Every structure is written in structure tokens, then in C-alpha cells.
Chain A
Amino acid sequence: MTPLLAFAAAGAVTIVAAALIVAALVFYLVSVILQLRKITSGLDKAIAGVGEIVQKSAPVNDVVTTINQQLDAGVDLLEGLLVKKAGLLDAVGLVEGLYAGSAAAGLRNFPESSTITAPRIGEVYTRGTLTLARLGREAPIAVGNPAGPALRDVERGSLAARLLYPEVRQSRPPSLPRSPIIGADAPVQYEQREDIGAPRKRLPGGAPVS
């Protein structure tokens, strides 16, 4: 082989090798670019979603804080009223009767309540039941109140008083047996006996009627 051909062969091999390397670089880099474009598109969607989340959740903190403050005020009011009317001992027992195990935590505004042994209100305490009975069935506090609007809904405020009825009504059966309708317009007309109202055929002593 002449030196010239040897130089040419070596140069050709070099060029081919370089071309292969460049081709590999082009192929893989273009593939990477395509994948990066997909990633960019996906990130754009993700950023848009996160932006919506941030926008929608921005007022949540303030609103929930306000709701909690108002509920705290309601709890304070009801706790204070309960303790004022029933006394701390009975209040703890009543709360324990409604929510078993809550007496251990005590009332929020009465730290000493957590040390009280809750009495078994459900068995021995009847004043609340009597109060409900008066409010629900006797005292017309919702009718004609001169101080303002009705204090309670007289039509729908009987849930507590319903507990005073026999169990068959508390379990809300789908239908109770209806009371029979009597009178001339009753849907069920019974056959009228002819002997009723007619003169006696036989006296009570057994003697025939003369």
C-alpha cells in the first residue's frame, strides 16, 4: 500500500468515526429535546393546576378561622348556660351521658370539670326531661310572644318531646295502624243487623213476648 493510500484510508476511517459520533449525538440529543418539551408541557399543566389550587384555597384560612371563632363563641355560650342552669356536676354528667368518655376532657371553660366524677345523669336525673316536656307540650312559649319572633318552631320542635312517647313512635315505623273512621261517611260500612232496634222476640227471663 502506498503511503498516499494509507493516509487516505486512515482519513476515511476517521471521518466515518466522527460521522458516527455526530450521528449518535444528533439522534440522542434530538430525542432528549423532544422529551424535555413533553416535560415542559406537563409542567405547564401542573403549574396551572397548582395556581388554581393556590387561588381557590387562599380565602379558606380566613373563613375557617372566622367559623371557628363563631363556633367557639357558641360553645362558650352553651357551656356557660348549661353550667349555670344544671350546675357543674350535673353538667358534666349530662355531657358524659350524651357523649361517653367526654367527661374526662371536661368543659372547656371550666378546667376543674375534668376532675369531677360524672354522675349517671341518664338514670337519676329527670328535671331535664320534665323541662323538655313543659317546653314541648305545655308551655306555649312560641305562640304570641310579645318580645319578638317565635323562640322555636312549634311544628318541628317536638323531637325532644317525642322521646316521652312509647317506643313504637320513637323508632319511626314507616306506617302506624290508622285509627278507624266511624260515622255515616266512614269508608267501611258494616252490615246493619235488622234485629237491632226491633222489638224483642224474647224477654230476658226467657218468656216469649206476648
Chain B
Amino acid sequence: MILWWIGNVILIAVVLPVVVYLLRGVLSAAKSIVPSVQQIADVAAAGSKDLDAAALLLTTQEQVQQTVAAVANYGGSLDLILDDAR
């Protein structure tokens, strides 16, 4: 009987606080993750939005092709017009 009461005291005075302490730690850790994950999601969405202009690189590529072609034509003409260095 005495041992039973000792067990009850240990259960209430030791086990219950330890369980509450550990579970509270897990809960606080889980709560601290939520804003971080939310920030990551926001940053990912913003990064995705920033990359909307990446499609314009195709236009840039075409423009560069045309520009280099024009420069090549112009350079060829200058090659004919100007004298070479002596």
C-alpha cells in the first residue's frame, strides 16, 4: 500500500511535469517552424514572380543575333572602306 502511494506521488510530482515539459518543448518547436516555412513560401513565390521576365531572354537572344549580324555587316563594309593599318 505504501509503495502504491509512493508510486502515485511519483506519477503526479515527477512523471506528469516531465511529460508536460517535453510536450511543451515539442509544441514550441513546431510553432517556431511555422513562420519560417511561411517566409520560405513567400520568398519562393516572390522568386518565381521575379523570374517572369526570364522569358524575355528569348527576345534578347533574337535581338543579340540581329545586332551581331548587323555589326558583322557593318564591320565587313568598314573593312572595305577603311585602309588597313600600316
Contact = CB atoms under 8 A, between A and B. Distances in A.
Interface of A: 3, 6-7, 10, 13-14, 17-18, 20-21, 24-25, 27-29, 31-32, 35-36, 38-39, 42-43, 45-50, 52-53, 56-57, 59-60, 63-64, 66-67, 70-71, 73-74, 77-78, 81, 83-87, 90, 131, 135, 139, 141, 151-152
A67 B1 contact: no
Range of interface residues on chain B?
A: 35 or more
Interface of B: 1, 4-5, 7-8, 11-12, 15-16, 19-20, 23-24, 26-27, 30-31, 33-34, 37-38, 40-41, 43-45, 47-48, 51-52, 54-55, 57-58, 60-61, 64-65, 67-68, 71-75, 77-79, 81-86
Contacts of B82: 85, 131
The A interface is mostly helix, strand or loop, or mixed, namely helix
Contact of B74 (A6, A10, A20, A152): A152
Given A17-B8, A28-B20, A36-B30, A70 B64 contact: yes
Contacts of B5: 10, 13
Given A7-B1, A152-B74, A25 B30 contact: no
B4 A64 contact: no
A71 B64 contact: yes
Contacts of B7: 14
Contact of A90 (B23, B33, B51, B85): B85
A67 B60 contact: yes
B45 A56 contact: no
B77 A39 contact: no
Given A10-B5, A24-B19, A57-B54, A32 B68 contact: no
